[in-house]
Chain A
């Protein structure tokens, strides 16, 4: 699979799961896999993982905690209680009808108002703070180019292009007072990506360091020279790098090195 350009990984994975519904497509993939050792091996690995996951499913958590059903019984009692003391069915229907009517009226009014109201960006695409306090500079914008220009200016470094369809971003302000900046993106598929901007003075470790976060892997690199601090993220199959002080031409070799070291 690693060297095969005929078949995308998710198609092969779906085929292995028996989830390719179109007969012609299914047969075309089967014919390819028969003649492609890489794809055949990849398909076997997917199958092995699924079998292992099925064993995990069968072996994990077969008992409930002590008192589980007693607690459930008490909660079901409360539901029964509320049912017997609640409004009779006719009254309930009447109340529902009134509520539905009210919602419909309010909804129609809101739609009418929105037609005449000016458009407003509710959620900024990028919110970022860099500086020594939580009230430091920040930008709210839905324009990625503007955000990149602003970041470049603020950080005195060129910000790598981010070729993603971004839905939103938020600031993790926890470390803003330490002079760190964070950009958190939610990609359209729901993937969470982060870029962390850290001044070189904050980087204590040298060498390439890999630390496991709760959900992501982080790589940090500090070559120990002025202006060569770098932080890289790997999320899913993508790697991202950011630097507070490194010009793009120096950043890219590091990015390539990290991408080389990250498994494909």
Chain B
């Protein structure tokens, strides 16, 4: 009996490690996008995998391990990591422009928006995602990056589908504006370089 238990556990461990190695990089990528820094992402991915291992006897072989782990990762992030994060309001002194002169907002329309969006760089997408509130960002990540259907994202986040819809709409709107601004800044920077002697 003990030997059977040990053997089963050993098999579970081997099977789990094989899947963890296969899907670990993608899972770490998801963790990095959620936590937004490598240290937290490492801890988050590790915690999720340990929890996955502890529940692995309930995982049905042949089903989607990556999706199963994404669910665990999102839960760990929501329950453990997000709670730890301080809400990042900046003090008024931090609202200074680091010595730069204030500038007026101008309408960023150097070209058709679709072209701007297509040409956005990964670092700009990360920065634009960083402009979203945590709930909206997580929703955008689950639907637009992880490609989950609305219903699944709603289930994971514990909110109605309508909330996913409105968060997505809001998040995408902010991202589009932000990406357009980055594109405009790039456009201006390129103009300066071109105009230099």
Contacts and interface: CB of A to CB of B under 8 A. Distances in A.
B178 to A, nearest CB: 9
Contacts of B156: none
Interface stretch (B24-32, B61-69, B186-194): B24-32
Contact of B13 (A61, A80, A191, A235): A80
Contacts of B88: 213-215
Contacts of B120: 52
A68 interface: yes
B87 A184 contact: yes
A182 interface: yes
B81 interface: no
B196 interface: no
A130 B159 CA distance: 35
Interface string B10-49: 0001001100110011101100110000100010011001
Given A9-B173, A215-B131, A236-B170, A62 B53 contact: no
B77 to A, nearest CB: 15
B102 A53 contact: no
Interface in B147-178: 147, 149-150, 159, 163, 165-170, 172-177
Contact residues on B (Cβ < 8 Å of other chain), bracket? 35 or more
Nearest to A219: B105
Interface string A42-85: 00111011111110110111111100110111011001100110
B79 interface: no
A191 B136 contact: yes
A79 to B, nearest CB: 6
A53 B92 contact: no
A73 B174 CA distance: 41
A143 to B, nearest CB: 24
B130 A45 contact: no
Interface string A98-135: 00000000000000000000000000000000000000
Contact residues on A (Cβ < 8 Å of other chain), bracket? 35 or more
B146 to A, nearest CB: 7
A149 B177 CA distance: 36
A4 interface: no
A208 B102 contact: yes
B89 A53 contact: no
A19 B177 contact: no
Contact of B143 (A17, A80, A182, A218): A17
Contacts of A10: 165-166, 168-169
B25 A182 contact: no
A162 interface: no
B121 to A, nearest CB: 9
Interface of A: 9-11, 13-14, 17, 19, 44-46, 48-54, 56-57, 59-65, 68-69, 71-73, 75-76, 79-80, 83-84, 172, 174-175, 178, 180, 182, 184, 189-192, 194, 196, 198, 202, 204-220, 235-237, 261-263
